[in-house]
Amino acid sequence: MSKLAVVAFGGNALLRSGQKGTYEEQIANVSNTCESLYSLIKQGYNLVIGHGNGPQVGNVMLQHEGGKEKYNIPSMPMDFCVAETQGSIAHLIEMGFRNMFEKNGINKNIVTLVTQVEVSKDDPMFQNPTKPVGPYYTKEQADSFARETGAVYKEDPKGNGWRKVVPSPKPIAINNVDIVKQLSENGTVVVTVGGGGIPIVRENNTVRGVEAVIDKDLASALTAIQIGADEFYILTDVPKVYINFRKPGEKALDVITVAEAKEYLAAGHFAEGSMAPKIRAGIMFVENGGKECVITEAGQLGNAACGTRIVK
């Protein structure tokens, strides 16, 4: 039987540091990442792909803001923006895979599911929004928008201005995950939970979108658990995870247990907003039946000992 792996594309798979985010830049980056996944295809893996959308959803919010100011077109809420970027980013990923398949003589289908992900309306993160999204504003602009919309704005720690912050609740259910499982087990590459998924809550037998951002690594980990994936790959911009990163005693980690990963996490070795969410997602996957989580950069995938592996 083929092995099943979920691969979470990090932000650098789509947009690299210093780039503006043009269409040409993004398709080139995605194409390179898809080329790197040929090694997994060649080894017989069936693949499910998750991806981030941070810079892209920020750009969409800027476009909405410009349309509102110039043409009085209403800005759309966060769940709508996530849905928009799920479709546009998946279009690039599908092209990258199709071109890789054509180049290597592979006969496979790739399909995208625009995916809603359920969160709890009682998640404590709704009382403590911390995830910055969208453009920077002056304090005066932020105060004005806050009065107008009720949104929360906080000052950037690096002094770049004020940004809207939204909750980042924990994903609890992936819509249509059974279809993801069926398609992937039949050999179709499936792109799902883009940007962590479109955040929805369920109440009074209905669902509604909410102003939130779901961590894409946690959403990808939950998908991997629910479809029974063998392995979970998190692609980032470093070949391995480090402790004492860029400090005296820096050390690359090869294979670590869940217990060791928790110890390093508790000791503060992994930064929030960077490596810490990836480590948590890896722990979550392995603790819930997964064989191992591999955190690495895409170019390392052909190497049998690539990345940092989290095991039981």
In this predicted model, which residue has the larger pLDDT, 7 or 15? 7
Residue 1 has pLDDT above 70, yes or no: no
pLDDT tens column, 247-276 = 899 999 999 999 999 999 999 999 888 899
What CATH code would you report for 3-120+171-311?
3.40.1160.10
Residue 222 has pLDDT above 90, yes or no: yes
- pTM confidence score: 0.94
Closest to 136 (Cα-Cα) out of 162, 167, 104: 162
Contact 239, 306 (CB under 8 A): yes
Tally of CA atoms within 13 A in the half-sphere of 117 that contains its CB: 33
pLDDT tens column, 135-162 = 789 999 999 989 988 889 999 988 999 9
Going from N- to C-terminal start, the domains of the chain cover: 3-120+171-311, 129-166
Q: What is the mean pLDDT of residues 276-280?
A: 96
Pairing relationship of beta strands 308-311 and 255-257 according to DSSP bridges: parallel
Active site residue 216: yes
Backbone angle region of 72, left / alpha / beta, with phi > 0 → left and psi within -120 to 50 → alpha: left
Tally of CA atoms within 13 A in the half-sphere of 2 that contains its CB: 17
Contact 179, 111 (CB under 8 A): no
Tally of CA atoms within 13 A in the half-sphere of 91 that contains its CB: 7
Q: What is the mean pLDDT of residues 269-289?
A: 95
Q: What is the mean pLDDT of residues 227-247?
A: 94
The predicted pLDDT at position 277 comes to 94
Q: Which of 53, 131, 290, 307 is catalytic?
A: 131
Residue 84 has pLDDT above 90, yes or no: yes
Average pLDDT, the chain: 94
Q: Which of 12, 29, 46, 53 is catalytic?
A: 12
Q: Which of 59, 181, 278, 282 is catalytic?
A: 278
Give the Cβ contact number of residue 26 at 10 Å.
Answer: 22
Active site residue 11: yes
DSSP 249-265: T-EEESEEEHHHHHHHH
290 to each of 140, 229, 264, 294, how far by Cα in Å? 49, 7, 20, 11
CA 311 to chain CA centroid, nearest Å:
21
Roughly how many angstroms between the first and final C-alpha of the chain, as a whole number?
23
Q: Which of 11, 52, 282, 290 is catalytic?
A: 11
By the 10 Å C-beta count (0-12 exposed, 13-18 middle, 19+ buried), 282 is classed as buried
**Encoding tokens for residue 227?**
């479809």
Contact 224, 285 (CB under 8 A): yes
Give a three-class secondary structure readout of 79-113.
Answer: HHHHHHHHHHHHHHHHHHHHHHHHHHCCCCCEEEC
Helix (H, G, I), strand (E, B) or coil at 153: strand
Q: What is the mean pLDDT of residues 116-134?
A: 94
**Encoding tokens for residue 293?**
């989580």
Q: What is the mean pLDDT of residues 195-204?
A: 96
Residue 229 has pLDDT above 90, yes or no: yes
Q: Which of 53, 96, 175, 216 is catalytic?
A: 216
Active site residue 131: yes
Rounded Cα distance, 96 and 301, in Å: 17
Residue 11 has pLDDT above 80, yes or no: no
Q: Residues near 139 by Cβ (< 8 Å), separated by ≥ 6? A: 155, 161, 162
Sign of CA dihedral 133, 134, 138, 142: negative
Contact 179, 132 (CB under 8 A): no
